[in-house]
């Protein structure tokens, strides 16, 4: 049986002025797949329509089955389907030889044009379906401009509140609502204003850094740059040696046990990139110092665990690297628990 490649169409964000090639592909389809909002824009097409709903696995399986049965399948997406869209999943599942991809203008490009800002300089993250804001905190830690794909859970107001609570307050929020529609609205807000702002859907956010961090974080940051109790800090020479020995790579999950003021965890975040760094500190006053140092250095993605080790270990993500500070390494019982928590043969402990 001859099978047709799945046509993945990026419609941009304005569906009112589509080129003939795109309309022709839609009109010749046996099955149209897309979000309900997009499908509603094509009420007169003869094709069967299938709305994309969770779980996505079933939708992908159904459209693959239709394609294997010889149907012409077209997947409709707003923006560019390969830019934080369904296109990536379909290319992976079907293979590049079984799909055709037609990109459209993304909401990021439209938003950047409103700001008169080159869009290639905007780091972008999607919070769609996320349970935590960590990916955004990782991105803003290293970016001057950050684009954010929102959803019904992570609204601009919720994002603003989460940033404030994380100490990431040196940002302004540009909110782009229903772009290219009669109700289009673009606003620039302080984070405390955005918390009270009711945004129309769909919307997109760009965060602009308003001030550089007080401390430039680097490997071997001077000890005096951190807020800490006198004498209770891992000296910079030890930090550099310890982090070098751990061989932290991009994507590593790092535990800093007995984190003190957080100096090791904060510098580890420079090496872990999109990985996770958790500063475990039982003492509330020292945990407060980590929070302050995180805000001062802009390393917002470091997660502070103000709990007792090893009691909290079972609730933490599995580590690849563990640093033990504060003299806690002299505790044999703790060391046993730490080694049990580091199951990978390539895992490292310092």
pLDDT for residue 19: 83
23-51 pLDDT per residue, tens? 888 999 999 999 998 999 899 888 999 99
| Sign of the dihedral through C-alpha 87, 88, 91, 96 | positive
Which tens digits make up the pLDDT trace of 163-221? Answer: 999 999 999 999 999 999 899 999 999 999 999 999 999 999 999 999 999 999 999 99
| Predicted confidence (pLDDT) at residue 17 exceeds the cutoff of 90 | no
Give the rounded distance of the alpha carbon of 219 from its chain centre: 24
What's the full length of the chain, in residues? 350
Rounded CA separation 175/253 (Å): 33
Task: Give the per-residue SS3 of 23-82.
Answer: HHHHHCCCEEEECHHHHCCCCCCCCEEEECCCCHHHHHHHHHHHHHCCCCEEEEECECCC
pLDDT at 295 over 70: yes
pLDDT at 329 over 60: no
* CA nearest to 169, candidates 198, 142, 209, 206: 209
Chain mean pLDDT for the chain = 92
Higher pLDDT, 350 or 282: 282
List Cα–Cα distances, 219 to 29, 235, 269, in angstroms: 56, 11, 10
pLDDT(4) > 90: no
Contact between 257 and 325 under an 8 Å Cβ cutoff? The reply is yes
The pTM is what? 0.89
Quote the DSSP letter at residue 166.
T
Is residue 112 packed enough to be buried (19+ CB in 10 Å), middle (13-18) or exposed (0-12)?
buried
**pLDDT tier at 342, thresholds 50, 70, 90:** confident
Please, which residues have CB within 8 angstroms of residue 317's CB and are 6 or more apart in sequence?
Answer: 253, 276, 278
């Amino acid at each position: 049986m001859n099978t047709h490649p799945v046509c993945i169409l990026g419609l941009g964000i304005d569906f009112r002025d589509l080129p003939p090639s795109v309309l022709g592909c839609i009109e010749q389809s046996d099955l149209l797949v897309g979000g309900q909002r997009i499908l509603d824009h094509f009420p007169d097409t003869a094709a069967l329509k299938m709305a994309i709903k969770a779980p996505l696995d079933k939708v992908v399986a159904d459209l693959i089955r239709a394609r294997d049965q010889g149907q012409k399948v077209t997947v409709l997406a707003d923006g560019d389907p390969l830019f934080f869209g369904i296109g990536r999943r379909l290319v992976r599942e079907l293979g590049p030889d079984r799909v055709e991809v037609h990109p459209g203008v993304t909401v990021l490009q439209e938003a950047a044009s409103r700001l008169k800002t080159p869009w290639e300089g905007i780091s972008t993250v999607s919070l769609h379906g996320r349970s935590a804001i960590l990916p955004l905190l990782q991105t803003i830690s290293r970016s001057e401009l950050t684009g954010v794909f929102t959803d019904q859970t992570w609204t601009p107001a919720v994002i603003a509140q989460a940033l404030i609570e994380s100490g990431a307050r040196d940002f302004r929020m540009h909110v782009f609502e229903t772009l290219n529609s009669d109700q289009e609205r673009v606003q620039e807000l302080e984070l405390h204003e955005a918390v009270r702002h009711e945004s129309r859907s769909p919307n997109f956010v760009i965060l602009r850094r308003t001030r550089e961090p007080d401390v430039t974080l680097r490997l071997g940051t001077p000890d005096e740059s951190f807020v800490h109790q006198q004498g209770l800090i891992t000296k910079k020479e030890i930090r550099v040696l310890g982090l070098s020995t751990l061989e932290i790579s991009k994507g590593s999950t790092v535990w800093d046990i007995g984190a003190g003021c957080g100096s090791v965890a904060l510098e580890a975040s420079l090496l872990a990139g999109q990985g996770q760094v958790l500063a475990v500190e039982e003492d509330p006053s020292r945990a407060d110092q980590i929070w302050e140092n995180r805000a001062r250095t802009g390393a917002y993605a470091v997660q502070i665990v103000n709990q007792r080790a090893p009691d909290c270990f079972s609730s933490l993500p599995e580590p690849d690297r563990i640093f033990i500070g504060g003299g806690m390494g002299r505790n044999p019982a703790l060391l046993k628990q730490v080694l049990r928590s580091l199951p990978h043969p390539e895992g490292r402990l310092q």
